[in-house]
């Protein structure tokens, strides 16, 4: 049957005992199928490479004849340009959703390339922030505007929003690397991250004195000697918490004065030990059958956390908001204020990027200010004729012209 497909004509069609087809008289290839159950479905029929192909447009009702005609015209235009709409649709069905692709990212990449703690944080961000909004979309359909919208909706928690954006960037870069998306198609590009308020705290000499007193009082009050030792080591070495809690005696090199860590956030590394840290390590009790320096309550295992002892100590020191990670910043800031170079400080902390250490740059000016103040005061005193120790009088050199 053939005729111009209009709403009146389609509404009047009756179902038979088998599939019936009506072909439009104005647009060759545009048609309608009527099933024995009475369903009326718009479609396009065309030939490509010697084969007849059909592509469904949609059911009558939700799709009007005019909408179906426009879509048919579009599809037939693709055929005229050498494309095969049926093949394109079949290929599209194999494109994974973001949820599917991210699961593959975790199993094929993250779990083998990242530490378990990092993978846990990634999954938390994915399940809590990213997938509820974008998980059902095919990866080839996700746009920059969608990513920007997701990031914008995290504006009340900018740190979390930035971490989610960073994870998406990593995931889409991985997709490009394994051929799931074209190169240079990462939709996170140009989405500006929120400014974050740096949370590190630099401890003054007075802060350190109060902290030291609180640690001593906790030790005398019966706190776990291993928890106390862990906190003291964190202060004296600038090491990360997990590096100290998982430290084994086999990694302590007393002879060369270093910790030889087999694993850390940045991989295997050495942590230089100063004399106070070495003396402390020599006093930590070793438990038989436990090769961990900071032994836990379970036989043979390390201590899991020191939060209870730490909270009591910081409260006693009058610094209730002080974080354990601030002890690492304190170590670095003391070095910077003593005039040590940023590369040296970065090496001590195990930084892999120079910009990570650059936050302490302003502190390195302090020794210069102190030095120029001392020189200025000595010169001023000498010029005013005051008695000073170790002052070398300046006298003109003969024949120098000044």
The CATH number that domain 205-363 falls under is 1.10.443.10
d(CA 153, CA 34): 46
Task: Decide whether 2-92 matches 205-363 in CATH topology.
Answer: no
- For residues 333-353, average pLDDT: 74
Give pLDDT tens digits for 191-250.
999 987 665 567 888 888 999 999 999 999 989 999 999 999 999 988 889 999 999 999
The CATH number that domain 2-92 falls under is 3.30.160.390
d(CA 104, CA 93): 17
- What's the residue count for the chain? 402
3-class DSSP assignment, residue 156: coil
d(CA 223, CA 214): 11
Predicted TM-score (pTM) of this structure: 0.51
- Mean pLDDT taken over the chain: 86
User: Is the predicted pLDDT of residue 47 greater than 60, yes or no?
Assistant: yes
Q: How confident is the model at residue 389 (pLDDT cuts 50, 70, 90)?
A: low
CA angle 368, 371, 376 (to 5 degrees): 120
What is the predicted pLDDT for the residue at 198? 61
Structural domain spans, the chain:
2-92, 98-177, 205-363
What is the predicted pLDDT for the residue at 397? 47
Q: Which of 258-262, 336-340, 359-363, 394-398 has the highest mean pLDDT?
A: 258-262
């Amino acid at each position: 049957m053939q005729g111009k497909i209009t709403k009146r004509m389609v509404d009047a069609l009756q179902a038979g005992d088998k599939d019936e087809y009506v072909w439009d008289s104005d647009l060759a290839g545009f048609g309608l199928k009527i099933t024995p159950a009475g369903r009326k479905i718009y479609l396009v029929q065309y030939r490509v490479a010697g084969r007849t192909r059909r592509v469904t447009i949609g059911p009558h009702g939700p799709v009007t004849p005019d909408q179906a005609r426009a879509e048919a015209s579009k599809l037939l235009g693709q055929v005229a340009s050498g494309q095969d709409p049926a093949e394109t649709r079949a290929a599209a069905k194999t494109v994974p959703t973001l949820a599917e692709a991210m699961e593959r990212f975790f199993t094929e990449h993250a779990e083998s390339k990242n530490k378990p703690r990092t993978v846990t944080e990634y999954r938390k961000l994915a399940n809590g922030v990213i997938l509820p909004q974008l998980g059902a979309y095919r990866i080839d359909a996700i746009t920059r505007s969608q990513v920007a919208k997701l990031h914008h909706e995290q504006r009340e928690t900018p740190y979390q929003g930035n971490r989610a954006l960073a994870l998406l960037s990593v995931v889409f870069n991985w997709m490009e690397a394994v051929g799931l998306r074209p190169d240079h198609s990462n939709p996170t590009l140009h989405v500006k991250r929120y400014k974050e308020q740096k949370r590190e705290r630099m401890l003054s000499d007075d802060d350190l004195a109060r902290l030291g007193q609180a640690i001593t009082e906790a030790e005398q009050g019966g706190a776990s000697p291993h928890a106390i030792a862990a906190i003291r080591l964190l202060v004296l070495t600038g090491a990360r918490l997990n590096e100290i809690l998982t430290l084994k005696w086999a990694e302590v090199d007393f002879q060369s004065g270093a910790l030889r860590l087999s694993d850390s956030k940045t991989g295997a590394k050495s942590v230089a030990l100063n004399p106070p840290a070495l003396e402390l390590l020599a006093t930590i009790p070793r438990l038989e059958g436990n090769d961990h320096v900071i032994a836990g309550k379970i036989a043979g295992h390390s201590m899991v956390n020191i939060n209870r002892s730490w909270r009591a100590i910081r409260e006693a020191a009058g610094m209730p908001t002080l974080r354990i990670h601030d002890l690492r910043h304190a170590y670095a800031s003391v070095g910077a204020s003593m005039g040590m170079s940023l590369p040296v400080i970065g090496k001590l902390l195990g930084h892999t990027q120079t910009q990570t250490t650059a936050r302490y740059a302003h502190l390195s000016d302090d020794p210069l200010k102190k030095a120029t103040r001392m020189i200025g005061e000595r010169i001023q005193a000498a010029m005013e004729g005051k008695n000073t120790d170790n002052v070398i009088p300046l006298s003109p050199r003969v024949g120098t012209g000044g």
